[in-house]
Amino acid sequence: MSLALVSASASASASASAVDLTLAEASDLAWLARRATGPTRPLLAAALAVDPALAPMHVELSSLPVPARSSTEDLLVSPHSPLRMTIALPDGARLRTASLVLRRCDGGGVAGPSLVQETSAGGSTEGVEWIALGWGDPRRVHELRLGLPSPFDLPRLRVTVDRGDGTWRALAGEPAVTARTLGGRTQLFVTLDAVAARVRVEMLDAEARARAVDLDPHAPLEVELSEQPEGLSLALAGEAPLWRHEGPLPDSGDDVIVEGLLERLVAAAEAEPGRPLVLELRAEVAGDVELWWSFDAFHRA
């Protein structure tokens, strides 16, 4: 099947030029039209104009109705709570285009996860041998800040992480620790690079034995978490992933296009006519993404 695109000037006598695209090539038209400049823009814009042959569609993102062609940013993706997109086709319609594009999100528009604090002293910050913070889904951890009321006789530290399975693991290497004192308050900065759902900091003496210390009651332990998801995958609900992206999204801001989406959706729609198509986007390491999508369908002849 091919799709004819027509570009016309505002003049009534304008001539038209046509370009034939295969169905697979047409799947990225909406995305290209948003990004195109110069002479290609009117050509692509014309392709996305209202076409009476197109069938109305119902699209939902996280159970909320959205346009069939749109974008949004600061969407949280995680291992346990997939981002769901539902596409419902009217009777007798067939998908014509399907595009899904992901981009790194650096805006910080989503509030960080809620933190749960525990200590060996039952929540108190006095006489503490260890303190832990948890935030639910695994995220990449860059830094810890341990607050102490005094800069003298600082403890040694041992840091362990729980990746979400309830098991505490030692770090692959010894983290770098630096001390800073300001206004009578001391912080130990622990630099690390680990994936965790919880971190625990143990206070030790010179012989690596447990040592009880008092912590700053206002900020005993703070954590810096990455906003970038890692290990993204897309699947039709209940099926194996149809697309994967290892590691984080490119920090260059380059677009990551879900390849082969149209063919898989068309096959799923024809296998079970009338059943909504439900896409699930997951990440092995939780974070935020910017998402662009475009879907349209046509009535069968």
Q: What is the pLDDT of residues 149-197, one digit of tens each?
A: 888 889 999 999 999 999 999 998 888 999 999 877 899 999 999 999 9
Q: Give the pLDDT confidence score for residue 109 in this predicted structure.
A: 53
E strands present in the chain = 2-7, 17-22, 54-55, 58-61, 64-66, 69-77, 83-88, 93-104, 116-119, 130-148, 156-162, 168-170, 176-182, 185-204, 221-225, 230-236, 243-248, 256-257, 277-285, 287-299
Between 204 and 56, residue with greater pLDDT: 204
Domain boundaries, the chain: 2-107+229-299, 116-225
CA gap 102, 293 in Å, rounded: 9
In tens, the pLDDT along 234-244 reads: 999 999 999 99
CA gap 76, 232 in Å, rounded: 12
The confidence band for 53, taking pLDDT boundaries of 50, 70 and 90, is low
Q: Give the pLDDT confidence score for residue 214 in this predicted structure.
A: 95
The confidence band for 257, taking pLDDT boundaries of 50, 70 and 90, is very high
**Per-residue pLDDT at 9 exceeds 60:** no
**Per-residue pLDDT at 116 exceeds 50:** yes
Mean pLDDT of the chain: 83
The confidence band for 14, taking pLDDT boundaries of 50, 70 and 90, is very low
Q: Give the pLDDT confidence score for residue 301 in this predicted structure.
A: 62
Residue 295, phi then psi, degrees to nearest 5: -135, 140
Question: Reduced to 3 states, what is the DSSP secondary structure of residue 254?
Answer: coil
Q: Give the pLDDT confidence score for residue 140 in this predicted structure.
A: 95
158 with 171: CB under 8 angstroms? no
pTM beyond 0.95: the answer is no
Q: Give the pLDDT confidence score for residue 195 in this predicted structure.
A: 96
| Low-confidence winner among 74-78, 106-110, 253-257 (lowest mean pLDDT) | 106-110
What CATH topology corresponds to 116-225? Answer: Jelly Rolls (2.60.120)
Mean pLDDT to the nearest integer, 100-127: 86
CA gap 225, 142 in Å, rounded: 6
Between 41 and 230, residue with greater pLDDT: 230
Q: Give the pLDDT confidence score for residue 251 in this predicted structure.
A: 85
The confidence band for 30, taking pLDDT boundaries of 50, 70 and 90, is very low
Q: Give the pLDDT confidence score for residue 110 in this predicted structure.
A: 57
In tens, the pLDDT along 74-91 reads: 899 999 889 999 999 988
**Per-residue pLDDT at 17 exceeds 60:** no
